[in-house]
Structure 1
Amino acid sequence: MPVSCSGEQPLYFEDRVDAGRRLARRLLERGYTGEDTLVVGLPRGGVPVAYEVAAALGAPLDVCVVRKLCAPEYPELGLGAVAEGGVVFLNRKLMDELALKEDDLRGAIRQKTAEVDARVRCFRQEARPSRVEGRRIILVDDGIATGATVRAALQALRARKPGRLVLAVPVADTLTLNELKPLVDDVVCECSTLSMSAIGQWYRDFLQVPDEEVVELLALARSTSKRRRGTVPG
């Protein structure tokens, strides 16, 4: 079970590397290994965390690209998300509160779908997507607040028929985490809190992760996995 953390005295991670190593220790304590396991990071901030997890478990690393959908009049308000594979998650309750219909978001959905396709090409370069079917998939992000992007990613991964789907995060909003639990086979979380106002408050260093760092970490992970197993990870 994740540690319950007070909002007044938050558990600080030094940075995403520290968070990934601490999350990896918790996964290892739970008996997770790299055997037929694929670690999947949510770009961009989740990838440095996932890289440390994959390295510790001896597992290959890939990404699941997701883009947040925002309300037309409220650009900071997330209404859902679009994930690779054509998965769209919409927060129907919030849409009702704003008197929005799905038709109102069709333009935004098309735009975000195009962005997802472009980012898939950017992050994976020439590498093909890793095999998901039948494998243990550990989805990693740097934290969960509202959970829209994570939910879309989980739906996208579940559609590819994994053998087991695990959600692993350093810190998460407790209520959101409880809502996500039915979508996965297991949840591993270092710290859950009822006072999540922003993920960045739990990190001393929460600088934005550039695309170039995501590409570099994925390439390093592929190289390491190839040396370790003697084959390109599938």
Structure 2
Amino acid sequence: MYFKDRTDAGRQLAEHLLNYEKVPDGIVIGLPRGGVVLAVEVAKRLDLPLDVVCPRKIGAPMNPEFAIGAITETGEGIFNKEAIDYLAVSDEYIKETVEYEKQQAQRRLILYRPGMPPRDLKDKVVIIVDDGLATGSTMKAAIKSIKAEGAKQIVAAIPVSPTDTYAEIREMVDDTVCLSTPPMFQAVGQFYEQFMSTQDDDVVEIMSEYNQ
């Protein structure tokens, strides 16, 4: 399955979430930056509020694109112990990187939610949306954070994911929607005709317009 762009993927995803339309205490959470483009389409279709959680990847030393974990603005995080042990990543590196990425996540949360009240997910039905999964580290961190905030039910919604990552996510939440789990998976972007980078300004505009 291929998607024209993130907006198209969000609209397709929304059609598979109609059992959550106007669900009491429901809210859609987008994972910045790209996931927010899909999340706003889901929120519009389901007639639900839109908010964000800001997970940040913890990259390996000398190879920051390789995730050894992820953390959110609340400090909730997940770590790949096998990768950390294999790469002999020091406790000092993890501590320093976690603190830096936590600060970056907090900065982004403030930027993306201008004028909005503090996020309240206690006893909510939370639909988490991203533009796709690879290792799933940021989605896992978001799930852990949202659980810690007291969500009543968590739904993970993504257009595409590797089979093994999707299986791991399914174990962590109450419900999942994934439109495609292709056997040959290299990167999320390969399943989009257009996969332009989403900028901070794009997220701010989406959040401001939807929540005005």
**Structures share fold, TM-score greater than 0.5:** yes
- The residue correspondences of 1:1-234 to structure 2 (distance < 5 A) are 11-28=1-18, 31-35=19-23, 36-223=25-212
**Deviation (angstroms), 1:26:** 0.8
**Matched letter for residue 109 of structure 1:** V
RMSD: 1.1
CA distance in 2, matches of 1:83, 1:200: 23
**Deviation (angstroms), 1:103:** 2.9
CA distance in 2, matches of 1:180, 1:58: 25
The percentage of counterpart residues that share the same residue type is 38
Q: Runs ≥4 in structure 1, deviation > 2 angstroms?
A: 101-104
**Deviation (angstroms), 1:135:** 1.2
SS of corresponding position for 1:166: strand
SS of corresponding position for 2:193: coil
SS of corresponding position for 1:176: helix
**Deviation (angstroms), 1:100:** 1.8
Choose 157-166 or 191-200, whichever is displaced more. 191-200
Query: Which ranges in structure 2 are unaligned for 5 or more consecutive residues?
Result: none
- TM-score normalised by length of structure 2: 0.96
- TM-score normalised by length of structure 1: 0.87
Q: Which structure has the larger Rg over C-alpha atoms?
A: 1
**Deviation (angstroms), 1:166:** 0.3
SS of corresponding position for 2:16: helix
Query: Which ranges in structure 1 are unaligned for 5 or more consecutive residues?
Result: 1-10, 224-234
CA distance in 1, matches of 2:68, 2:171: 21
CA distance in 2, matches of 1:121, 1:188: 29
- Contact 2:60 2:67 (C-alpha < 8 Å) held by counterparts: yes
**Matched letter for residue 155 of structure 1:** K
CA distance in 1, matches of 2:178, 2:63: 31
Q: How many residues align?
A: 211
